[in-house]
Amino acid sequence: MVYDIKELYLIENHHVGGIILHNHRKPVTDRDPAYRSLFDHHPDAILSFDLEGRLLEANQAAQQRLGYEASELANLTLDRLAASDYRERSEQAFTDSANGSNYECEMVVVHQRGAHLAMTLMSFPIIVDGAITGVYMVLRERGVNDGPDLDEQLSKEQLNFFFANVDDACLVLDTKLHILKINEAFETMFGWVEEEVLGTLVPTIADQQQDEVERVRSLVLASRQAYCYEGFRSRKDGSLVEIAVSASPLFGSNGEPVAIALIIKDIAERKKMIEALRESEKRLREVMNAMPDLVTFKDGQGRWVEANQNTLIMFKLESVPYKGLTNEELAKQSGYYEEILAKSNEWDEQVWEAGHAIRQQNGLPNTRYGDRLYDIMKVPLFHTDGRRNGLLTIGRDITELKQTEELLRTTDKLAVVGQLAAGIAHEIRNPLTTIKGFISLLSKQTTDKNSWYLDVMNNEIEQMEWITNQFMSVAKPQLMSCKMHRIELVLAQVTSLLYPLALMNNVQIHLETEPDIPEVLCDENQLIQVFINVVKNAIEAMNAGGQIEMMIKRRDEQHVSICVTDHGCGIPAERIARLGEPFYSMKEKGTGLGLMICYKIVKEHGGCITIESELGLGTTVEIVLPFTGAAR
């Protein structure tokens, strides 16, 4: 039989020595039962690698020392085995042995659970038939005579540095909760110095807290993970301090927990700050909810963070968990505002792109108060690096403000009308009277052939007098003579007066009334003027003829409603709001004063006028009057 002489470590006080002969005709692991026994039962960890660095086999000691199951060893590599600072050294050992040399060095190996183990590495080549086929590596734990445990030395230095420089109280306990080490911060926080407490149970723990502490100890050791909790602990002077504790297990070289490290923070000030922040947040939320404005705050991704009560009511989100949702997601929760919420994304993006606050006015539908006009300001907030932080939106209802502005403009126009009326009364009425008198004299001397011209002149002068009287009614308040009148009789008079005009325009006027309508306290002549104006406008709107419906009914216990409906051309929606303004008319030669006077008369009676219209379908004018009146 042919043998190669190969160096190997024999079991002799764990030192190197001797040789072993390999039978070349059998596999390396099966050539000799003695070799198999030596490999399997050697107290040192032995691993064999092929020349590619793949693990071929590991003995029982290797599995025990490194914490790996046999099934896990197939994936073990040198990189995973050696600690990061020792990988270069392990690679050097492998390379030297793969080239035929023995190698020995100190090594730090990573346990399967992550612990660092200080060991001695010995590597040498596997030689079969004169050729190197792999590398053996033997790992031996360092004893007391093998020099200091480098990992332990590093850990102690790092622990001492950490203890000396950390601001929090720190202490190390054995697994039975006896103190092994404390830092100066612990002495400052609790009042005990290290000499007083070394080797003793933790003095800060009261008797009634022992069960809870034992539970934490067992949990940390069993889970092998850190555990955090809060509570109160006693100082040396007997006072209590509120603390937050982080308890972490410390592992020995065998990967088992051997101690517990505690980091303790005094959280009394933090709790005060948290409470102060909560109070501040509460006050801020109370202020937000007390504001009549709409207030929202979104984060940089457009998710809602906060909204005041008015906003939630406005968008019907009172019972919706809106926080963290985007506009699109909220639109699904509040279908009524789906279009507005979707449109809000476009406005938000405009603000982000502008990089500064933007103010705009937008109409928003409101289920409680009808459409409202809002003055909306959006303010973008950015991180110091330019990233989007949040978007603040404040919306103020300015509907009444706009109406007030319109009222002021109307008042200014009325003042102008009053001044014009006074001038017209002085400058025009007297000349008109003179002209009218001379035309009357001329009519007696004029032939029948020319009398037609004088009739036309008289008609035009009467029209001028009518316009002048309208100006005068605006300029000079009219005294009201109020009596109780049946409103259906007032409308019957109007129908009779306008019958010729309706007949000429092929229009029928239909009057309908509910039974038992109470009498209305009013100035009959003024109301006749109002209804003549409204019905006359309805007749003129029906170019193709048709029927006008007039309906009298109770609006409620205190008011009567008179509706005049035509089927004419209708009025554009954007013009309805301006009807009643002086000098604003839908007619080519109109002054706008007729409807303005109607509004004025109805208002003086304590009522109101509303107009609804659709293009091509017609218009309905509703006049609401109180039964008891509001005349002055």
Structure tokens at 597: 């006077």
Percent of the chain with pLDDT over 70: 82
Measured CA to CA, the distance from residue 115 to residue 257 in angstroms comes to 10
Residue 411 scores a pLDDT above 70: no
CATH node for 403-475: 1.10.287.130
pLDDT band at 145 (very low <50, low <70, confident <90, very high): very low
Distance of CA 18 to the CA centre of its chain: 77
Contact in structure between 308 and 294 (CB atoms under 8 Å): yes
Residue 620 scores a pLDDT above 80: yes
Residue 632 scores a pLDDT above 50: no
pLDDT digits (tens, 9 = 90+) for 418-435: 666 666 665 777 787 788
Measured CA to CA, the distance from residue 351 to residue 357 in angstroms comes to 7
Give the contacts of 60 (CB within 8 A, at least 6 positions apart): 40, 41
Residue 335 scores a pLDDT above 60: yes
pLDDT band at 630 (very low <50, low <70, confident <90, very high): low
Class of 279-397 in CATH? alpha beta
pTM: 0.41
Residue 64 scores a pLDDT above 60: yes
Contact in structure between 235 and 204 (CB atoms under 8 Å): yes
Residue 357 scores a pLDDT above 50: yes
CA distances for 31 relative to 35, 37, 123, 124, 393, angstroms: 7, 11, 21, 19, 84
Contact in structure between 543 and 569 (CB atoms under 8 Å): yes
Return the number of other C-beta atoms located less than 10 Å from residue 182's C-beta: 24
When pLDDT is averaged across residues 221-229 and rounded to a whole number, the result is 91
Average pLDDT, the chain: 80
> How would you list the strands of the sheet with 103-110, edge to edge?
55-58, 45-50, 131-141, 116-128, 103-110
**Kind and range of the H or E run holding 499:** helix 487-504
Measured CA to CA, the distance from residue 79 to residue 65 in angstroms comes to 17
When pLDDT is averaged across residues 372-400 and rounded to a whole number, the result is 88
pLDDT at 415: 66
pLDDT at 590: 54
pLDDT band at 293 (very low <50, low <70, confident <90, very high): confident
Residue 180 scores a pLDDT above 90: no
Least trusted range by pLDDT, from 21-35, 339-353, 546-560: 21-35
When pLDDT is averaged across residues 322-349 and rounded to a whole number, the result is 79
Return the higher-pLDDT residue of 124 and 404.
124
Residue 253 scores a pLDDT above 80: no
Portions of the chain given CATH number 3.30.450.20: 3-146, 150-266, 279-397
pLDDT at 404: 78
Portions of the chain given CATH number 1.10.287.130: 403-475
pLDDT digits (tens, 9 = 90+) for 1-15: 333 333 333 333 333
Return the higher-pLDDT residue of 489 and 284.
489
DSSP secondary structure string for all residues of 110-130: E-TTS-EEEEEEEEEEEEETT
When pLDDT is averaged across residues 504-524 and rounded to a whole number, the result is 90
Least trusted range by pLDDT, from 233-242, 331-340, 447-456: 331-340
- Structurally, what CATH architecture does the domain formed by 150-266 represent? 2-Layer Sandwich (3.30)
pLDDT band at 169 (very low <50, low <70, confident <90, very high): very high
Q: Is the CA virtual torsion 413, 419, 425, 428 positive or negative?
A: negative
pLDDT at 235: 92
pLDDT at 123: 93
CATH node for 3-146: 3.30.450.20
Percent of the chain with pLDDT over 90: 20
Q: Is the CA virtual torsion 436, 438, 443, 446 positive or negative?
A: negative
Residue 345 scores a pLDDT above 70: yes
Residue 212, amino acid = E
Distance of CA 438 to the CA centre of its chain: 81
pLDDT digits (tens, 9 = 90+) for 294-304: 888 999 888 98
Phi, psi angles (nearest 5°) of residue 433:
-60, -40
Q: Which CATH superfamily is domain 483-626 in?
A: Histidine kinase-like ATPase, C-terminal domain (3.30.565.10)
**Kind and range of the H or E run holding 216:** helix 210-223
